[in-house]
Structure 1
Amino acid sequence: MSGNDFVVVANRLPVDLTTADDGTEKWIASPGGLVTALTPVLSAHQGCWVGWPGVADAAPEPFRTDDGVLLHPVSLTSDDFERFYEGFSNATLWPLYHDLIVTPTYSRSWWQAYRDVNHRFAVEVDRVAAHGATVWVQDYQLQLVPGILRQMRPDLTIGFFLHIPFPSPDLFRQLPWREEIVRGLLGADVIGFHLKANADNFLQLVRSVSGVSGGHTGLPDSFEVTGHASVREITAHVTSSDGRSVGVAAYPISIDPTDLVEVDKAHVAKLREQLGADTTLLLGVDRLDYTKGILQRLNALEELLADGALAPEDVTFVQIATPSRERIEHYQRTRSAVEEAVGRINGRFATLGHPVVHYLHQSLPKPELQAYYAAADVMVVTPFKDGMNLVAKEYVATHGDGSGAMVLSEFAGAAAELNQAYLCNPFDMESAKQAIVQAVQGLKRTPEVTAERMRAMHAQVIEHDVDLWAQAFLDSLKKAQ
């Protein structure tokens, strides 16, 4: 298979394998902003998506989606999944890039698997990419792919985008294979991050890590920022060891708000009735990940109830926790602690027929999730560290009428744009408690001010959607050709 002028490379294909009751299998489109953003681009450019199909040891033939996008599977064994994905990607890089919330594991065996799988992805891209094609590599699992591809196919224009934070140089230098990772990234023509701070960290790292660059250009002490505050470009470049100029820029990712603007009002009303029409409904929606601060927000709620700042009969908290990486020990511990806290809070404060906390450890269909967004009075988003957090933007998109309020961690990337939220420091229990109380009281005591804050955030999200994010990055990549 060859001749594709535009190729997206990601750890996962944009489809999930489902099995019907009669045993037949079918590929269905995965939800998610990245899929929504890139599918039209791929369709328009005779495009191809290279990725793992999500099933270990599966090797399906390439196939096309209903939109005409060619999906080119990369096969991973069960051992690859354990060492490359669960191991190096999510027990080494993930905690390192999230500021050591848990301690990373540095395993030479995992590193070998990471190199091998990245090489395998690069080989598959080489097979499908036309001469002079544009290749866009996605995220932390594939940081070596740009460098490998550059050696294999110097004719390609290569972009890389990191969807999680990039750590400070002092933290990154812990990684035993730091030079190899940086060299891999510098194989790209443009490297994109969510925030200027992430790009700054990378640029400082390139200065300090030996053996990765043949010189630097355009690296002033403070970087000029051009364009709208929500579509930033840092005018900085580094020179790779082979003499190429590599652009480094910030492009905050966003959502497709189209399906979130209109809601099923009857469904929302029914949900409110079930959860307590007269109570203040607080909502958390997260992957069950230790970076998301789920336990801490539950502890904050418990203290507020114990202090009398919130009355149990006046509030209902719904926590939707999507299962995530359940074989990894830190995730198992997180789930156990969260579920223990839910039981403890309800044991202390619930009354017959009115649990204070409703907990769902499951994935919900998009329409159902949208109903929860619309029904919630207060969205609570309190990650210790997050590249962006699209849940925050999805909630805001659902409240174009100015209803609702949002408690938002200052360490979520979204806080740079959604600064009308009630910001808090999730490491500080008093800060989190204060933000929750301010949001609840703001809805009752200063509804006009609270509505104005929500409408300002809604306008920001609607104007700066995922299409703008994708186009901004691709425009930069086109200039690099």
Structure 2
Amino acid sequence: MEHTRFMNAPQVTTDNNSAETPGTDALYDFVVVSNRLPVDRVVAPDGTESWKQSPGGLVTALEPIMRSNDGAWVGWGGQPDLAIDPFDNDGIHIVPVPLSEDDIEKYYEGFSNDTLWPLYHDVIAPPTYHREWWESYVAVNQRFADAAAAVSAEGAVVWVQDYQLQLVPKMLRDKRPDLTIGFFNHIPFPPYGIYSQLPWRAAIIEGLLGADVIGFQRVADASNFARAVRRLTTSSTKTTTIEVATPGQPPRRVIAKAFPISIDSRSFEELARQPHIQARAKEIREGLGNPKTIMLGVDRLDYTKGIGHRLKAFGELLADGRIEVEDVTLVQVASPSRERVQAYMDLRDEIELTVGRINGDFATMSHTAISYHHHGYPREEMAALYLAADIMLVTALRDGMNLVAKEYVAARFDDDGILVLSEFAGASDELKRALRINPHDIDGLKETILQAISMSKRDRSARMRSMRKRVLEYDVARWSTSFLTTLASVHDHRESVQAATPAADPLDELEWTVERAPRGTGL
């Protein structure tokens, strides 16, 4: 069987190897496994049910590959106790994995989002460790692995996504050693001094090492992972290669490296060029009182995003008299996030109190200091907001990538606008012409905001042109192609690599990361 055929539109096969319309007994050569399905369930007022495609870069990146290769997508339907049979949706076979209320509480809200999320984001908030959460995480990961194994053809490629499913690669390899397995971590991987706090640290590393290729957002994340491998296992690491010892067999080669994710930048630019989007951007400015400068923040309401830091800097600039409310307005979009988790409830209260205080102190009858919105917007409205904003503020305290920064750049076909970007966001590795800041340095953030406000049109255009070139060239399609090409190459070279390590690694030619691992990182 040709293991790389998922790149070349294979036929769906069944147990008797005949082509067939996908069904519950069909097997697939390309399978994606993620916590959520790429579709959302919609119930109409009359009670009829339907499914619509979820927004997001991952779905956009993989949708063409899934359709051309009759792929299957394994994931949760987004609602508790939702038992649905597998079905086809617009060329993709959907395999729902049901989660109970207890699963959601312990596996998802508990271990994934109250243990792993804060731990992997440099313990900005303290992680919580509960053994029953871990037990649920193991059980649910096994359920996802079993579902993926059941729909994967012999020698299929399975691509597992993100921190909720870190045990799935090893579970799949134990159950189906014929599979070629990839894993991509969409969030940071922490330094070992932080990661070592996790009671189940070795089990997570072993789970990830079940994959053939492990992708990270930044070179530093891959370096952190390699150090954890050296500390917690007997496997050896060299540059991006990990030799995983297997009893009675030659070492198995695993590639762990950076594949910085991106967006569908061309479609975002095309959207921003639409006349009605540009008209809407003008309406937004007029609705805000036509200030000289509009600053924009777009985030999930999450403690990793540094929303409070940017509000503090903005409030101090107003209090110092260095900017005037008639001249500068901050628009803050904070979409709801994990609203049943106490830390997020507390954060919302804190942010909204701060917004109210600043508006109470500085707003006039005709101008509001902060226009605050606790809900999400469709892509069309976001494109208009990006065009309306003179300055984009990305003040994340820790972020795997931050695709909002790339969306802002892609939307600015006019080569205008200024991106103020946290050095702790993965996007800062690529968008080097942004005004980079340390969000913990409030005085430095204030000075950078003032620099952005006073920047000349010539300087703004030069910076934006450079960033746009990067975002348009390294789009989400290039990200997925790079990862899958590396995954195919690992399989194709597996036997020869196990026999002898070549002087020049052919896989190195596939690397397109922003920068090579610096000396002394230990990668």
TM norm. shorter chain > 0.5: yes
- CA distance, structure 1, for counterparts of residue 252 and residue 487 of structure 2: 14
- Aligned residue number for residue 36 of structure 2: 12
Q: 1:140 aligns with which of 138, 146, 163?
A: 163
- Aligned residue number for residue 108 of structure 1: 131
- Aligned residue number for residue 255 of structure 1: 263
- Aligned residue number for residue 442 of structure 2: 429
- CA distance, structure 2, for counterparts of residue 207 and residue 431 of structure 1: 38
- CA distance, structure 2, for counterparts of residue 188 and residue 259 of structure 1: 32
- CA distance, structure 2, for counterparts of residue 358 and residue 18 of structure 1: 30
Answer whether contact 2:307 2:395 (CA < 8 A) is retained. yes
RMSD between aligned alpha carbons?
A: 1.1
Answer whether contact 1:186 1:240 (CA < 8 A) is retained. no
- CA distance, structure 2, for counterparts of residue 455 and residue 241 of structure 1: 50
- CA distance, structure 2, for counterparts of residue 360 and residue 327 of structure 1: 19
Q: 1:377 aligns with which of 387, 390, 394?
A: 390
Residue 267 of structure 1 and its aligned partner are, at CA, apart by 1.4
- CA distance, structure 2, for counterparts of residue 439 and residue 260 of structure 1: 24
- Aligned residue number for residue 50 of structure 1: 74
Amino acid at match of 2:463: R
| CA deviation profile, 1:129-164 (whole Å, cap 9, x unmatched) | 001000000000000000001000000000000000
Residue 2 of structure 1 and its aligned partner are, at CA, apart by 3.5
Q: 1:321 and 2:345 equivalent?
A: no
Q: 1:80 and 2:94 equivalent?
A: no
- Aligned residue number for residue 449 of structure 1: 459
| CA deviation profile, 1:63-91 (whole Å, cap 9, x unmatched) | 1122x110100000000000000000000
Q: 1:464 and 2:453 equivalent?
A: no
- Aligned residue number for residue 410 of structure 1: 423
- Aligned residue number for residue 254 of structure 2: 246
Unpaired runs of at least 5, structure 2:
1-24, 492-523
- CA distance, structure 1, for counterparts of residue 43 and residue 281 of structure 2: 30
For residues 307 and 20 of structure 1, do their structure 2 counterparts lie closer, same or farther at Cα, with a shift above 3 Å needed? same
Amino acid at match of 1:245: R
- CA distance, structure 1, for counterparts of residue 391 and residue 43 of structure 2: 37
- Aligned residue number for residue 51 of structure 2: 27
- Aligned residue number for residue 237 of structure 1: 242
TM-score in terms of structure 2 length:
0.86
- CA distance, structure 2, for counterparts of residue 467 and residue 432 of structure 1: 34
- Aligned residue number for residue 183 of structure 1: 206
Amino acid at match of 1:474: L
Residue 46 of structure 1 and its aligned partner are, at CA, apart by 1.7
- CA distance, structure 2, for counterparts of residue 345 and residue 283 of structure 1: 16
Residue 241 of structure 1 and its aligned partner are, at CA, apart by 4.0
Q: Mapping of 1:135-214 within 5 angstroms?
A: 135-209=158-232, 212-213=233-234
Amino acid at match of 1:216: S
Amino acid at match of 1:163: H
| CA deviation profile, 1:188-243 (whole Å, cap 9, x unmatched) | 0111101110000011111111xx33x315x2xxx4xxxxxxxxxxx433324453
- CA distance, structure 2, for counterparts of residue 147 and residue 37 of structure 1: 25
Q: 1:397 and 2:410 equivalent?
A: yes
Answer whether contact 2:183 2:211 (CA < 8 A) is retained. yes
- CA distance, structure 2, for counterparts of residue 276 and residue 394 of structure 1: 25
Q: 1:64 aligns with which of 88, 92, 100?
A: 88
- Aligned residue number for residue 41 of structure 1: 65
Answer whether contact 1:88 1:110 (CA < 8 A) is retained. yes
- CA distance, structure 2, for counterparts of residue 376 and residue 156 of structure 1: 47
- Aligned residue number for residue 477 of structure 1: 487
- CA distance, structure 2, for counterparts of residue 17 and residue 356 of structure 1: 38
Amino acid at match of 1:239: V
Residue 258 of structure 1 and its aligned partner are, at CA, apart by 2.5
Answer whether contact 1:194 1:387 (CA < 8 A) is retained. yes
**Secondary structure in 1 aligned to 2:153?**
strand
Answer whether contact 1:284 1:381 (CA < 8 A) is retained. yes
Residue 22 of structure 1 and its aligned partner are, at CA, apart by 2.7
Amino acid at match of 1:205: A
Amino acid at match of 2:368: P
| CA deviation profile, 1:28-58 (whole Å, cap 9, x unmatched) | 1000000000011111122000000001000
- CA distance, structure 1, for counterparts of residue 117 and residue 206 of structure 2: 19
- CA distance, structure 2, for counterparts of residue 146 and residue 240 of structure 1: 16
TM-score in terms of structure 1 length:
0.94
**Secondary structure in 1 aligned to 2:308?**
helix
**Secondary structure in 2 aligned to 1:312?**
coil
Answer whether contact 1:162 1:192 (CA < 8 A) is retained. yes
- Aligned residue number for residue 368 of structure 2: 355
| CA deviation profile, 1:355-408 (whole Å, cap 9, x unmatched) | 111111011111011110111000000000000000000000011221110111
- CA distance, structure 2, for counterparts of residue 300 and residue 77 of structure 1: 43
Answer whether contact 1:135 1:156 (CA < 8 A) is retained. yes
Q: 1:216 aligns with which of 236, 254, 267?
A: 236
- CA distance, structure 2, for counterparts of residue 417 and residue 276 of structure 1: 35
**Secondary structure in 2 aligned to 1:291?**
coil
Unpaired runs of at least 5, structure 1:
224-234
Residue 250 of structure 1 and its aligned partner are, at CA, apart by 0.8
- CA distance, structure 2, for counterparts of residue 353 and residue 50 of structure 1: 51
Answer whether contact 1:319 1:359 (CA < 8 A) is retained. yes
Of 430-439 and 332-341, the range deviating more from structure 2: 430-439
Amino acid at match of 2:45: D
- CA distance, structure 2, for counterparts of residue 194 and residue 134 of structure 1: 21
Answer whether contact 1:276 1:316 (CA < 8 A) is retained. no
- Aligned residue number for residue 286 of structure 2: 273
Answer whether contact 2:291 2:329 (CA < 8 A) is retained. no
Residue 61 of structure 1 and its aligned partner are, at CA, apart by 1.2
- Aligned residue number for residue 226 of structure 1: none
Answer whether contact 1:147 1:187 (CA < 8 A) is retained. yes
Answer whether contact 1:424 1:435 (CA < 8 A) is retained. yes
